[in-house]
Structure 1
C-alpha cells in the first residue's frame, strides 16, 4: 500500500502536534500501545492544554473485531434472539398452564446457563415434537452465552451465526461491512496501515480517550531511550491534514450526537410551553 495519501513528512526535532502517531516503547508493555494525538495545535502552541496531550487509542483490526466489535454483536444477537425464543417457549408453556408467569429473554438466558437447549425443550414440551427452528435459536443463544466456554467472542459469534443459518460468505460480508463504517454512526476510524508496523487494517477507537503528561511524549524513539522513560510515548508517524481533520470531525460528530435524558428533554419542552403561555398569545393581544 502507498502511504502518500495518509502520511505527512516530519522530523525528529518537530514539536508534537495534532495528528502525530505515538507508541509506547516495545520493552515497556507486553503488547504494542499505539495512539493518535488529538490536542488542538493552537492549544499546544499557546500552552492551554495544561502540559498534557489528549490521545485516542489505536488497535489492530483483528484486536478491534475480537475485543470490541464481536462482544457488542453478541449482546445484540442475544437481546434479539432471546426475545424470539422466549415468546416461542412461552406460548408452549401457556398451553399447559395459562396462569404461568411469562418467560422473558433474560429468564431464558439464565435458564440456559444451567441446562442445555435439549433439556429445556424436554421440560417445556415433554410430549411434543421439537421445533427445529426454535431449538436452533436456543442452541445459538447457548453458544453465545455459555459461561464455561473458552472460545473467543468472535468464535462464539461465528458459531451462533452458523446455528442461525448464516453462511460463511454472509458472515464475511457482515464483518467487512462493519469495518468499512459506512452505515450509522461508527465510533471508530479505520486506517489501512501504520508506519513502521507490520500488518494492515488498524482502528482508531474514538471513544477510548486518555491524556498523558507532555514530558512523557518524545519526538523520536531515541529521545525516549536517552531520557530513560520506559513508560513514555514516542512519535513514529504523522497523518496528512486531510486525514487528521477527518478523524477529529468524526470524533466531534460522534459526541455531539449524544442525546440528553428524556426527563431533561421533557422539562425543556414544558418550559417552552410555559414561556409561550406567559407571552399571552391570544387574538388581539399583540
Structure 2
C-alpha cells in the first residue's frame, strides 16, 4: 500500500538544520506570526556559516488565520462599496456636513441606523434605504472572532443591505475568493496541506513577513538547555524549492512609475497605428 502523500518528511537527530525545516515555538502563547516558522536560509549559508547564526524564516499560518488576515479584509472592502454608494447621494441631499467614507463607517458602528437616519432628517423611503445601508456597513465592519463568524457576518451584511442579493449569491461572493486562495494562491503565499505529524489542517506560508531566529535557540534533538524553537519536520525538496522560488519572486518584483507605463502603452498604440 502506498504511503499517504505529505509535503514534509520526518528527520532524525543527526540531520543538520537546513532550508525547508519547519520549526515550532516552545512558547504555547507565541503569536501566529512566530508559532510555526519555515526556514528559507540557504543550505550553503549553513554549511559555510554565511548567515552568522541568524536563521531567516517565514511564518506558517493556519489556513483560517491566513484567510482571516489577508483575504477577509479584501472581500470586506469590496462589499462595502455597495452600501457606501447608496449613502453618498443620501448624504449629499441631507443637511449633514461633508463626511468622509472612513468617518461614515465609524459612525455606522457607533450609533444605530435609526438614530443616524433621524439625525440626518431622513424620512420614509429614503430613511428605510439609509437604515439598510447603515446596518450593512455596521455588520461589514464588525469584528469576528474566527473565520466562520467572519464569513457568516459578511453574508448577512449583504442580505440586510439595500437591494439584497439571493442568499446563494451572497455566499458565493464571499466563498469564491476564499476558495480561490487555495487553488490560485496569491503570489506572496504558498499552500501546504500538512507541515508535520498531527499538523494537517491546511496551512499557508506567508512570504512577505520575515522572522529571524538565532540558531542556538533552535533544537533539532531533545535537550535540557533553554531553547525557543524545536524542529518538527522538513519540507520535501520539491516543495522547499518551490516556496523559496516564490519567495524570491515576491522580492524580485520591482514597481515601475505610472509615467513609464503610460509611455509604454503609447508605444504599443503607435505600433498599431502603423496599419491604419
Q: What is the TM-score of this pair, normalised by structure 1?
A: 0.72
Match of 1:123 among 114, 119, 135: 119
Partner of 1:207, secondary structure, is coil
Alpha-carbon distance in structure 1 between the residues aligned to 2:196 and 2:235: 10
- Tell me: CA distance 1:75–1:126, structure 2 relative to 1, closer, same or farther (3 Å): closer
User: Match for residue 269 of structure 2?
Assistant: none
Matched positions, count: 247
Alpha-carbon distance in structure 1 between the residues aligned to 2:73 and 2:19: 31
Partner of 1:113, secondary structure, is helix
Alpha-carbon distance in structure 1 between the residues aligned to 2:83 and 2:200: 38
User: Match for residue 53 of structure 2?
Assistant: 51
Alpha-carbon distance in structure 2 between the residues aligned to 1:158 and 1:134: 22
Alpha-carbon distance in structure 2 between the residues aligned to 1:85 and 1:2: 56
User: Match for residue 13 of structure 1?
Assistant: 14
Alpha-carbon distance in structure 1 between the residues aligned to 2:128 and 2:25: 52
- The two structures, once aligned, show a CA RMSD in angstroms of 3.1
| 1:208 to 2:209 alignment | yes
1:29-49 Cα distance to aligned partner (Å, 9 max, x none) = 236821111001111111110
User: Match for residue 272 of structure 1?
Assistant: none
User: Match for residue 29 of structure 2?
Assistant: 30
- Tell me: CA distance 1:156–1:116, structure 2 relative to 1, closer, same or farther (3 Å): farther
- Tell me: CA distance 1:232–1:54, structure 2 relative to 1, closer, same or farther (3 Å): same
| 1:181 to 2:178 alignment | no
User: Match for residue 152 of structure 1?
Assistant: 145
User: Match for residue 69 of structure 1?
Assistant: 71
Q: Does structure 2 conserve the Cα–Cα contact (< 8 Å) formed by 1:109 and 1:141? A: yes
1:67-110 Cα distance to aligned partner (Å, 9 max, x none) = 443345435544x34642442323432xxx6xx65443123123
User: Match for residue 225 of structure 2?
Assistant: 228
Relative to structure 2, which stretch is displaced further, 195-204 or 238-247?
195-204
* Structure 2 residues without counterparts, runs of 5 or longer: 160-164, 262-276
Q: Does structure 2 conserve the Cα–Cα contact (< 8 Å) formed by 1:219 and 1:235? A: yes
Alpha-carbon distance in structure 2 between the residues aligned to 1:45 and 1:152: 44
